């Protein structure tokens, strides 16, 4: 069992995982590396925070008080330091979009 979270699942994450499994089934790749939640580690090994452009503000304790601010959005409900997802680094469509 391999879990690929997302709502919807990022198409690149689905295709990369499927391709890896095909290589594995053909004997050309080792067992797929999974984390404790059965997610591919190369896709879901880092938190959103680790790839966030606003992470420097977090480290300095500078938090946005309203949306539209360039500062860290943790105090407005962002779960970046906890959630493991690659969309902020990868983007959604043609490398654009995400959190």
Say if residue 66 is in the same domain as residue 40: no
Residue 67, domain extent: 46-91
Q: What's the DSSP call for residue 75? A: G
Greater model confidence, 97 or 51: 51
Q: How far apart are CA 11 and CA 50, in angstroms?
A: 22
Using pLDDT thresholds of 50, 70 and 90, give the confidence band for residue 3: very high
Calculate the alpha carbon distances from 83 to 32, 45, 77 in Å: 21, 10, 12
Q: What's the number of domains the chain is made of? A: 2
Residue labelled with tokens 């962002």? 78
Q: Residue 98 has what pLDDT?
A: 65
Whether the pTM exceeds 0.75: the reply is yes
Say if residue 14 is in the same domain as residue 53: no
The verdict on residue 10 lying in a domain is yes
Select from 11, 26, 45 the last residue of a domain.
Answer: 45
Q: Residue 28 has what pLDDT?
A: 97
Say if residue 23 is in the same domain as residue 52: no
pLDDT (tens digit, 9 = 90+) per residue, 10-47? Answer: 889 999 999 999 999 999 999 999 999 999 999 999 99
- What CATH number did the domain enclosing 56 receive? 4.10.480.10
């Amino acid at each position: 069992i391999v879990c690929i979270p997302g709502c919807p699942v990022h198409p690149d994450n689905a295709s990369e995982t499927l391709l890896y499994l095909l290589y594995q089934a053909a004997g050309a790749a080792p067992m797929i590396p999974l984390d404790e939640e059965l997610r591919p580690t190369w896709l879901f090994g880092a938190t959103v925070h680790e790839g966030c452009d606003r992470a420097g503000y977090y480290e300095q304790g500078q938090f946005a008080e309203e949306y539209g601010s360039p500062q860290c959005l943790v105090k407005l409900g962002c779960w970046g330091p906890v959630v493991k997802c690659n969309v902020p680094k990868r983007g959604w469509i043609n490398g654009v979009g995400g959190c």
